[in-house]
Amino acid sequence: MKIGRLLILLALILILGVLAAFLWLRRMSAAPSGGTGGEAEAPSVSQNMIPVVVAAQPIRRGTRITENMLTEVELPADRVLATQLTDPKEAIGKLAVRDLAQGMFLTKGDIAEHLAAGSEGSLASLQIPPGYVAISIPMTRLSGVAYALRPGDHVAVLATFPFVDVDTDFQSILPNKVAVVAPPQATEEGQTITAGLTPTDAWFGRSLTDNNLGMPFYVVPSEPQRSRLVSQMLIKDAVVLYVGTFPLSDQQMAIPTPQPEEGQAQGQQPQQNQPQPNNQQQPQEAATNQSPDIITLVVSPQEAVTLKYLMDRQIVMTLALRAGGDTTDISTDAVTLSYVLDTYGIVVPAKLPYDVAPRIDTVAPPLLPGDMTPTPMP
């Protein structure tokens, strides 16, 4: 009996040993190569991932970057380049050096405080919002608000049209001139001379009959046809891009203006914004003793075509400076002589049998004694 119990005990010990060896070998085969156990598995992910800055939307070259244009994504530390931006604050307030596509990783070379002139176009083009164009028109001291305009100002464009009557067929101003027609004549040889036409400088008029004398007579104009003027505000809001002639170097150009808000109606100018700080100043025309005779406006494409037509037709245009920050929609009526008389209660004088001497045909400001130039003494 003792021998049987001993054999059973030895068998149990052997089985337990084999089981322990099997478990130990299985654990060793599951462990990673070169490791000693579970302590080497999966290091902390947060310590090996770095956030990098990405463009959340397309950004045009020259656009001043704002916070809502950027987003962040995390990349493994070994995949982050030294030139990539890891903090959005590094890009906010800077200018995009090139066009940035949505989802593009931003690098230090993609942003700058100021843009230098390069081969990618003028800096003036960067100041034009998408969907708008720039066009230059003539300007004088009177039409240009006494040279008070500066880049970034908002102006309205007024124009005056001188209308005249024209002959529909000739497309020439009325009245037409008269030509004398000679009737056909027969010569001694029996030949017939056709009717002749002799132009004159006389204007075509109309025939009237004097009621007192009962005699007809012909009335002709005493002067050429007078134009009928009408003035109207054609463009309600245009942005001044530059006053005077652009410098050949882009170093003196101002920073780009803010982009218009999305969804803005076509034909309306971008809303006014507070001016950006700018240490660069536009060169003053006075420095060269020359007054600016041209101004460049940012308008819609259709408004640019309108300005082109007005310039080709030599229509007089005048700029009106809008108040800073004013974004209201302006509504105006066309002004004619009838409008002025009716709106302001002007009465046309009646024809009277008397008048005031001396005769005055043209109103002129009075000459004051202080304005007189003294006659030099001999």
Give the start-to-end residue ranges of the domains of the chain. 49-112, 121-163+227-256+288-346, 165-226
Is 279's pLDDT higher than 90?
no
Please give the Cα distance from 163 to 153 (Å, whole number): 32
Is 280's pLDDT higher than 70?
no
Q: If we measure between CA atoms, which residue out of 69, 103, 75, 101 comes closest to residue 88?
A: 69
What was the pLDDT predicted at 266? Answer: 41
pTM: 0.61
Please give the Cα distance from 356 to 241 (Å, whole number): 53
Q: Would you report the helix, strand and coil content of the chain in percent, each value rounded to 5?
A: 20, 25, 55
Please give the Cα distance from 218 to 209 (Å, whole number): 9
Q: If we measure between CA atoms, which residue out of 304, 290, 308 comes closest to residue 244?
A: 290
Confidence band (pLDDT; 50, 70, 90) for 286? very low
Q: Give the CB-side neighbour count of residue 223, counting CA atoms within 13 A.
A: 3
Q: Which range (135-144, 236-245, 257-266, 296-305) has the least confidence?
A: 257-266
What was the pLDDT predicted at 203? Answer: 85
Q: What is the mean pLDDT of the chain?
A: 80
Confidence band (pLDDT; 50, 70, 90) for 45? very low
Residue whose structure tokens are 């509504």:
331
Number of H helices, E strands in the chain: 3, 15
Mean pLDDT (whole number) for 155-184: 91
Q: How far is CA 266 from the centre of its chain?
A: 12
What was the pLDDT predicted at 338? Answer: 96
Confidence band (pLDDT; 50, 70, 90) for 346? very high
* C-alpha dist (Å) from residue 319 to 87, 143, 146, 322, 335: 46, 6, 10, 9, 16
What was the pLDDT predicted at 252? Answer: 53
Residue whose structure tokens are 């084999």:
18
Q: Which residues pair with 185 in a beta bridge?
A: 193
CATH of domain 49-112: 3.90.1210.10
What was the pLDDT predicted at 188? Answer: 62
Looking at residue 32, its amino acid is: P
Please give the Cα distance from 314 to 287 (Å, whole number): 30
Confidence band (pLDDT; 50, 70, 90) for 179? confident
How many residues in total does the chain contain?
A: 378
In the 8-state DSSP scheme, what is residue 263? T
25 C-beta neighbours (distance < 10 Å), count: 10
Confidence band (pLDDT; 50, 70, 90) for 327? confident
Confidence band (pLDDT; 50, 70, 90) for 214? confident
What was the pLDDT predicted at 373? Answer: 74
In the 8-state DSSP scheme, what is residue 145? G
What was the pLDDT predicted at 263? Answer: 39
